[in-house]
Structure 1
Amino acid sequence: MDWQSIFAPSIPLLEGFVRGTVTFLVLLVLLRLVGQREAGGLGITDVLLVVLVADAASAGLHGKAESISDGFVVVVTILFWSVAVDAVAYRFPRLAALLKARPRALIENGRLNRRVMLREFMTYEEVLSQLRLHGIEDIAVVDRAYIEPNGLISVIRVDRGENEPAEPPVM
């Protein structure tokens, strides 16, 4: 067994870093443009991170790369950018609007926001389906509904009681 060919990088480390960086940043921008609804229960960066790390790691596992180190450099680069994007968004709230998705008002005062529906490619039937999942059959009883950054819909009813908190408690 040739240990040198398994562990020694076959491409320059800088090339692996640049490849991981460009791939992560381009896919982050593309996923931000697609919209929030496509993410399901995960955040966009979560989906991006899982896909990229799995793909980068698979190259080393399946022998597509010349060495395990090649895949490892790309995985470390992707993880670095994932943490860096989150840290920048946390530290600089103005940049967070560009880097992270925000909740979008889907329903306000019982009225549908057609612009958000168009942006997220949601039909009236899909909105009704999401409301039914919250036990709501009539849009008129919805004060506000948001499509959250993770793609899920949150609903605030008009008839929310005085004792019910507007937001869940923070842990």
Structure 2
Amino acid sequence: MELFTFSISPWEIILRGTLVFWLLFLIFRFVLRRDVGNLGIGDFLFVVIVADAAQNAMSGDAKTFLDGALLVMTLLIWNLLFDYLGYRFPLVRRFTESASMLLVRNGDIQWRNLRREWITKDELMSKMREEGLESLEQVKEMRLEPDGRISVIRHST
């Protein structure tokens, strides 16, 4: 029956889950924006290590099913709350989701934005080739989208 009791205070579990959720949210929202849409080996390794560290930070001495269930519910509630508030209030959405960023306008590379997001010209040209474009002059707009992907709008021919 110990499986269905709390081994530590439920409030401590909620507080730990809340703190780790916010820490990870801020890291993924403001630091790792460009990489959300692409998951390479280094990114995957980072997520695994973060998950392990977060689990240790969140659980403390948690040992029972109820400890884990409450922790998962705390994270779920924060996630749903962010989604709901972002849907209802544009100000919250601006905080929880980054805006798209212009990378190329009418064939001209926006170097400042590339530097800001650590995107190389080679990465930009690779995306252009993936879209079947041969030169920058064919690009009306290229944007880094909130999900980390790069979208391309061609000039109409």
Normalised TM-score (structure 2): 0.82
Distance 2:24 2:136 in 1: 35
**Number of aligned positions between the proteins:** 143
Q: In structure 2, what residue type is equivalent to 1:86? A: D
Task: Show structure 1 runs of 4+ deviating over 3 A.
Answer: none
- Give how far 1:94 is off: 1.8
Distance 1:88 1:8 in 2: 33
- Give how far 1:41 is off: 5.4
Distance 2:127 2:20 in 1: 33
Give the aligned partner of residue 163 of structure 1: none
Is residue 7 from structure 1 mapped to residue 4 from structure 2 by the alignment? yes
Distance 2:140 2:13 in 1: 50
Q: In structure 2, what residue type is equivalent to 1:26? A: L
Q: In structure 2, what residue type is equivalent to 1:108? A: R
Q: Deviations over 1:38-64 (max 9, x none)?
A: 11259xxxxx8xx76xx65xx99xxx7
Give the aligned partner of residue 19 of structure 1: 16
Q: In structure 1, what residue type is equivalent to 2:76? A: L
Give the aligned partner of residue 166 of structure 1: none
CA-atom RMSD, angstroms? Answer: 2.2
Distance 1:139 1:101 in 2: 25
Unaligned runs of 5+ in 2: 40-46
Distance 1:16 1:82 in 2: 16
Distance 1:139 1:65 in 2: 55
Give the aligned partner of residue 103 of structure 2: 106
Q: Deviations over 1:136-171 (max 9, x none)?
A: 1211110011111111111110126xxxxxxxxxxx
Return the structure number with greater helix share.
Answer: 2
Unaligned runs of 5+ in 1: 43-47, 161-171
Distance 1:34 1:151 in 2: 12
Normalised TM-score (structure 1): 0.75
Alignment of 1:1-171 (within 5 A): 3-4=1-2, 6-40=3-37, 56=55, 65-159=62-156
Distance 2:22 2:65 in 1: 23
Counterpart contact for 2:104–2:141, Cα < 8 Å: yes
Counterpart contact for 2:8–2:62, Cα < 8 Å: no
